Structure 1
Amino acid sequence: MSDAQINEAARLFSILSEPSRLKLLRALMDRPLTVTELIEATEMKQGNVSKHLGVLLTARFVAREREGNFARYCIADKNVYKLCDVMCCRMEEEARRVAEEFGVS
């Protein structure tokens, strides 16, 4: 990878380092949702949802589809699913390791 590509990867990972953005992505993993549905699913305030959706939209992690007066958001970059799978597997393995270390089943 070139230095420019490494810098871009770091920028994208920094976007994903925000817990609120991860909550939004997780909520969108099953199906496209409106802002109102995302507010309900994440228990975040409307301003925060809109702000973080804007960042995810600009980074092309999500896409927006207009439906009359509403906009529905969906995962645009299918690599998000792969990243989440990798991290969830890592977290499960780590939890298993810690449980074994402390004798918890």
Structure 2
Amino acid sequence: MNSDDVSVKIFKALGHPIRLQIVKFLLDEPRCVCEINKHFEFSQANTSQHLKILKEAGILENKKVGVEMHYAVKLKGIASLLSIMENVVAEFFETLDF
């Protein structure tokens, strides 16, 4: 696997609106699955599937705390990447002709 493959895997994982929201939610602090479910009102199965994809992409890591599974952003550069994306999106909207 080369760096382009890894880049594509990360962008694909972040390319789904729910996964993007989950990563943004986890930027500040690790959270248990129950908190993620409550915040987004997803089914347990849906949340677990999205968390699995984000973990397989190397974006998230998990840690068992008692009986709860906690997830956190593993790649600290993700915060910078999302900030850059927000700037790109703002630039996109600025270039639209209304």
Query: Does the alignment reach a TM-score above 0.5?
Result: yes
What's the C-alpha RMSD, in Å, of the aligned pairs? 1.8
Aligned residue pairs, count: 98
Work out whether residues 25 and 75 of structure 1, in 8 Å CA contact, stay in contact via their aligned partners in 2: yes
Q: Distance in 1 between matches of 2:31 and 2:2?
A: 34
TM-score with structure 2 setting the length: 0.85
Question: In structure 2, what is the equivalent of residue 40 of structure 1?
Answer: 38
From the superposition, tell whether residues 31 and 4 of structure 1 become closer, same or farther in structure 2 (CA, over 3 Å).
closer
Listed as ranges, the gaps of 5+ residues in structure 2 are: none
Identity of aligned residues (%): 26
- Is 1:50 the counterpart of 2:48? The answer is yes
Q: Which structure would you say has the larger Rg?
A: 1
The offset of 1:30, in angstroms, is 1.7
TM-score with structure 1 setting the length: 0.80
Instruction: Name the stretch that deviates more: 7-16 or 76-85.
Output: 7-16
Work out whether residues 29 and 75 of structure 1, in 8 Å CA contact, stay in contact via their aligned partners in 2: yes
Question: In structure 2, what is the equivalent of residue 12 of structure 1?
Answer: 10
> Counterpart of 2:54 in structure 1: which amino acid?
L
Listed as ranges, the gaps of 5+ residues in structure 1 are: none
Instruction: Tell me which of the two structures has the higher relative contact order, counting C-alpha pairs closer than 8 angstroms and 6 or more residues apart.
Output: 2
Equivalent residue for 1:67, pick from 65, 68, 76: 65
List 4+ stretches of structure 1 deviating above 2 A: 92-98
Equivalent residue for 1:85, pick from 73, 83, 86: 83
